[in-house]
Amino acid sequence: MRIGIFGASTDLQGQSLAREAKALGVDSVIIESDALDQGLPLSFDDGSIFYRRQCMDDLRGFFLRFIPLPHVPTLQRDDEIVLYDDWYVNYMQSRERASVFLSWLLKLQHQGAMLVNPPHAASVLQFKPFQLHALRSSGARVPRTLISNDPERVRAFHAEVKDVIYKPVMGGAITQRLGEEALASLDAITRSPVTFQECVPGDDLRVMLVGDEIVSSVAIVTPEQHLDFRADPAYKSGEATYREVKLPAAVEEQCRKAARLCGLHFAGIDIKHQGDQYVFLELNSSPMYYDVEYKLGHAITAALARYIIEGARRAEASEKR
Ligand SMILES: Nc1ncnc2c1ncn2[C@@H]1O[C@H](COP(=O)(O)OP(=O)(O)OP(=O)(O)O)[C@@H](O)[C@H]1O
Ligand SMILES: [Mg+2]
């Protein structure tokens, strides 16, 4: 048996997953997310798929670490980000490439393969406003939230909630406090909604879930207090430490329920914790977990490997029936 890892052969998490799978007697094929950018051969020949001229039809279990998305090619010139002269052709080609990969994944899903995680939530594709809905409907507590492009509504939210943070709808930037300066430049949001939330105090917890199993739950410890722990120089330089946390059974159950509602087999769940309050922020579908595994010895990769292989075996067995 073989499993597939959509990612990059240079990625440590993918490499260690391949090692764990090998220890369980299963080989891995790493499918480079930039395979088509590199010109590696990929063919859909009627119903069969060939990657680097090898037939992939036997693979029934996959880890989706990175998948290609359409992107605009840019470069940094002095202090400015500028487009390549041939940006239009490049952008259109990146859409074609992303469409081929997504279709491959949808085909696998249609065939009943185990995809960790499924394409709608794979890699960096995350729909945080939907996640907040899923979290709320699972009974989990979430921060008071306004997602809006309407400056007037944001000012009213701020007047009511007072201590407010803002962050991008899709993530990818450090969370900031909504202070005087940001309030004065709210007109900038009209063409791109932003997430505004009540600022929730407490420790930052990261819970890793594989299937129904909570494989790790820790508080992230940084030397200084920051609104977003990722802004801490110690965290950025890889010196963060982690403290093991025992979650109440009800919070563990909310984690499982929220992941199920979001369609995630594997999730890195961010929670703010103070006293008996657990406030859910988001579920990461392709979380970085290697640092926790390395520093605390939590066997996240092994759990992932087992889960994908068992899922692949079930998929194979149901095809034979
Ligand atoms: N409402 C909030 N109150 C207090 N702190 C928050 C709040 N929202 C975010 N933060 C801080 O910012 C960090 C990042 O926010 P969050 O996890 O919601 O999204 P994100 O990590 O920015 O998304 P991505 O991982 O996709 O970049 C949190 O871990 C927490 O430390
Ligand atoms: Mg986060």
Q: Report the nearest atom of ligand 1 relative to the CA of 124.
A: 26
Q: Which of 9-13, 82-86, 141-145 has the lowest mean pLDDT?
A: 82-86
Q: Is 167 in the pocket of ligand 1 (CB under 6 A)?
A: yes
Q: Which alpha helices (H) appear in the chain, and where do they start and end?
A: 12-23, 35-38, 87-110, 128-137, 151-161, 180-184, 233-236, 249-261, 290-296, 300-320
Q: What is the mean pLDDT of residues 47-71?
A: 95
- Out of 220, 224, 228, mutate this one to test ligand 1's pocket (max ligand atoms within 8 Å of CB): namely 228
Residues 215 and 177 in one domain: no
Contact 86, 34 (CB under 8 A): no
Task: With a cut of 90, say whether residue 125 has pLDDT above it.
Answer: no
Contact 193, 265 (CB under 8 A): no
CATH number of the domain to which 22 belongs: 3.40.50.20
Note whether residue 82 is domain-resident: no
Note whether residue 33 is domain-resident: yes
Note whether residue 83 is domain-resident: no
281 sits in which H/E element: strand 277-284
Residues 238 and 154 in one domain: no
Q: Is 178 in the pocket of ligand 1 (CB under 6 A)?
A: no
Distance 12 CA to ligand 2 centre (A): 20
**C-alpha angle with apex 224: 219 to 228, nearest 5 degrees?**
65
CATH number of the domain to which 162 belongs: 3.30.1490.20
Mean per-residue pLDDT over the chain, rounded: 93
Distance 284 CA to ligand 2 centre (A): 7
Domain boundary among 169, 198, 227: 198
Three-state secondary-structure class, residue 194: strand
Give the count of domains, the chain.
Answer: 3
CATH number of the domain to which 254 belongs: 3.30.470.20
Query: Rounded to two decimals, what is the model's pTM?
Result: 0.93
Range of the domain at 164: 144-198
Q: Is 200 in the pocket of ligand 1 (CB under 6 A)?
A: yes
Distance, CA of 241 to CA of 226 (rounded, Å): 15
Residues 102 and 159 in one domain: no
Q: Is 238 in the pocket of ligand 1 (CB under 6 A)?
A: no
Distance, CA of 155 to CA of 166 (rounded, Å): 13
Residues 239 and 158 in one domain: no
Residues 217 and 275 in one domain: yes
Distance, CA of 313 to CA of 4 (rounded, Å): 13
Note whether residue 155 is domain-resident: yes
| pLDDT computed for residue 230 by the predictor | 75
Domain boundary among 176, 198, 220: 198
Note whether residue 113 is domain-resident: yes
81 sits in which H/E element: strand 80-83
Q: Report the nearest atom of ligand 1 relative to the CA of 172.
A: 27
Q: Is 232 in the pocket of ligand 1 (CB under 6 A)?
A: no
| pLDDT computed for residue 122 by the predictor | 66
Residues 154 and 186 in one domain: yes
- DSSP letter string over 111-145? TT-EEES-GGG-TT---HHHHHHHHHHTT-B---E
Distance, CA of 111 to CA of 226 (rounded, Å): 46
Tracing tokens 């989990």 back to the chain, one arrives at 140
Residues 189 and 242 in one domain: no
Measured CA distances, 33 to 10, 11, 51, 68, 249 (Å)? 11, 11, 12, 5, 38
Contact 283, 268 (CB under 8 A): yes
Contact 183, 159 (CB under 8 A): no
Residues 60 and 25 in one domain: yes
Distance 20 CA to ligand 1 centre (A): 31
Distance, CA of 73 to CA of 46 (rounded, Å): 32
Note whether residue 272 is domain-resident: yes
Tracing tokens 């962050």 back to the chain, one arrives at 167
Distance 175 CA to ligand 2 centre (A): 10
Residue 154 dihedral angles phi and psi, to the nearest 5°: -65, -40
Tell me the per-residue pLDDT of 296-319, one tens digit each, with 9 for 90 and over: 999 999 999 999 999 999 999 998
Q: Which of 46-55, 123-132, 177-186 has the lowest mean pLDDT?
A: 123-132
Nearest CA to ligand 1 atom 11: 228
